[in-house]
Amino acid sequence: MTPSAGSTTRPRAYRHDALFYNGPDDFHTSVSAFLAAAMAAGEPTLVVASADKIERLRQVADADLVQLADMGEVGRNPARIIPTWRAFVESHPSTTVRGVGEPITTARGRDELVEAQHMEALLNVAFTDADDFWLRCPYDIGGLDTTVVDEARRSHPFIVQGDSDVASDRYEGPEAATSSVLDAPLPEPAAVPAAFTLRPGRLKQFRRFVAEQATAAGLEESRVGDLVLAANEIASNSLLYAGGGADVRIWRDRAVVCEVRDTGMITDPLIGRVVPGDEEHDSRGLWMVNQVCDIVQIRSTGQGSVVRLHVRP
């Protein structure tokens, strides 16, 4: 692959690419070319990838123009990635900026992968009106399942591979993300869950139930506190906005998972992914739970809404 792989001329508005590469050397060559063009143009760039890839890029990145961040920290919960990009763009007003973000790798578990894929689709919603922001998302086609690569073609308007840079013929547009992310199915737990029926006046008992189940599942004290805090926020919202009750289940998978299911409706696919303003009281809770949980899965259909909180040991 040549150092000039794919287009390196900046777009005039928001552009979202999937970069298909094969192995770490191909990644380094392709991303280095993208960074070289950005640095030559004086365009601030943020790269978020695995720690080993970031360390190698330090050899070619101008520290004054290129910020490097570990996806293992930034994107541990995929819902935190869009706020990271938004903060970077907003920190450079009236300036063309670039980004390289690799949220999807073979290291992701099943639920993480699904939420990372949703995040990729929602980027097209979050930055529809952005000016002069070019985001390139690498995908290792030699390691990822073909279904994951196919999904990248649906969530990215452009596909870059080698010297090829073409519009994706499978891109579904921001409307598809808005309509599909919230009603995507969730798998049933493999383990038998513990259950609790939430009703007005039972929040104290609910918190005790969550703490006991999380402790029994092996969470350390601080992580039990995180799950209780997040679950209490979701349960309080259910009591306030969803007819006064909810069905709760907790089980152990790769993480301890607390599910709150009620009859309420959630219509904003970006809820919990945008820093709430002073007047946005209703969105603060879901923002907070995304800061303390490893994954937050939100679904809403005509039958109601479900929120799954994942906290790892």
- Segment 137-167, tens digit of pLDDT: 999 999 999 999 999 999 999 999 999 999 9
Domains of the chain are 15-180 (3.40.50.300), 194-311 (3.30.565.10)
Q: How confident is the model at residue 3 (pLDDT cuts 50, 70, 90)?
A: very low
Contact (Cβ atoms closer than 8 angstroms) between residue 149 and residue 213: no
State the chain's mean pLDDT as an integer.
Answer: 93
pLDDT tens digit sequence for 249-293: 999 999 999 999 999 999 999 999 998 876 655 568 899 999 999
Portion of the chain with pLDDT greater than 90, in percent? 84
Q: Residue 4 above 50 pLDDT?
A: no
pLDDT for the residue numbered 10: 52
CB 40 within 8 A of CB 95: no
- pLDDT at res. 13: 81
Pairing of strands 133-140, 66-70: unpaired
Is the pLDDT reported for residue 92 higher than 50?
A: yes
**Banded pLDDT at 129 (limits 50, 70, 90):** confident
Return the pLDDT at 68: 98
Quickly tell me which residue has 């287009």 as its tokens.
Answer: 7
pLDDT digits (tens, 9 = 90+) for 102-116: 999 999 999 999 999
User: At 40, which helix (H) or strand (E)?
Assistant: helix 24-40
Q: What are the structure tokens assigned to 107, written together?
A: 């290291």
pLDDT above 60: residue 9? no
**DSSP for residue 147:** H
